[in-house]
Structure 1
Amino acid sequence: MEKEEKVMVMLLFMTLSSLMTAYLCFGSELADSGQKSGGEARQYTRESNEGGKVFLEAEVLSKRFTYTGEHLLLQVNCNSEVLSVFIPKAAGAEALNMSIREGDLIGLTGTVSEYEGKREIKVERKEDVVLDNRHQ
């Protein structure tokens, strides 16, 4: 091998060694970072952290579209706590509006956030909202 090739091989080896060391030392933290919407969803509780992915089962108390943007807002009763559920237009708000009625029991997965000082769950895809057919 020529000198330049040896230098290149040595640099590649050092890079791979650094990456392996970082993975072994910080693997789980690095793997979880930047995955706000990914990962395991946990059962929603009042203590669920903002930004956490949660799932819950709740009764629909009311529904309406936002004044601008055609996003769907649900008010749901989850274990005696009234929560807002925000379903963006891009997440299938129109289709979900057609299938959800007040009084329906739904299961949903979303991200805990805060809007105007109140806790809400933001749904990312229409598949994250499931009607409980036992109550229809």
Structure 2
Amino acid sequence: MEKEEKVMVLLLFMTLTSLMTAYLCFGSGFTASGQESGKEIRQYSRESGVGEKVFLEAEVLSKRFTYTGGHLLLQVDCDSEVLSVFIPKTAGADALNMSIQEGDFIGLTGTVSEYKGKREITVERKEDILLSDDYSTK
């Protein structure tokens, strides 16, 4: 091999090594476009644990704002289980209050949490809640 060919092979080897190292260190963080790595979203069930990221479809039974803070609380019926859904003011509680009505069917993604001994789902962004019209056509 000539000197230039050896240099090219060495540069190619170094490039491939760098790419493999980057993939092994950061590759899983680039999957799932914007979702945290290692946080798989699962269908909600009664066995879902606190801290687990879940998706569920449910009927809105009631809605109200918290007494302080301006957060929105929904009571939803998910497979005959009444769950509370906590939507912080910073997650667009005002906008969601205007678009969600009692009796609506919604799909939502959130984190299972516990408040005063009762299970609830905490929503992080208003985009994590879809009205039935929005997700039934997808």
- TM-score, normalisation: structure 1: 0.71
| 3-state secondary structure, aligned to 2:102 | coil
Q: Distance in 1 between matches of 2:46 and 2:93?
A: 25
Q: Distance in 2 between matches of 1:41 and 1:60?
A: 21
Pairwise CA distance, 1:43 = 0.1
Pairwise CA distance, 1:94 = 0.1
Q: Distance in 2 between matches of 1:46 and 1:65?
A: 26
| 3-state secondary structure, aligned to 2:49 | coil
Pairwise CA distance, 1:40 = 2.1
Mind listing any 5+ residue stretches in structure 2 that lack a counterpart? Answer: 1-20, 30-34
Q: How does 1:1-136 map to 2 (within 5 A)?
A: 38=36, 39-133=39-133
Match in the other structure for 1:9: none
Pairwise CA distance, 1:64 = 0.1
Pairwise CA distance, 1:113 = 0.2
Percent of aligned pairs sharing the same letter: 75
| 1:71-124 CA distance string (max 9 Å, x none) | 000000000000000000000000000000000000000000000000000000
Q: Distance in 2 between matches of 1:74 and 1:41?
A: 21
The alignment yields a C-alpha RMSD, in angstroms, of: 2.0
| 3-state secondary structure, aligned to 1:76 | strand
Q: What is the number of residues matched between the two proteins?
A: 104
Write the letter of the residue equivalent to 1:120: E
- TM-score, normalisation: structure 2: 0.70
Q: Distance in 2 between matches of 1:60 and 1:41?
A: 21
In terms of mean alpha carbon deviation, does 107-116 or 39-48 score higher? Answer: 39-48
Q: Distance in 1 between matches of 2:41 and 2:73?
A: 21
Q: Distance in 1 between matches of 2:101 and 2:40?
A: 28
Match in the other structure for 1:34: none
Q: Distance in 2 between matches of 1:40 and 1:100?
A: 27
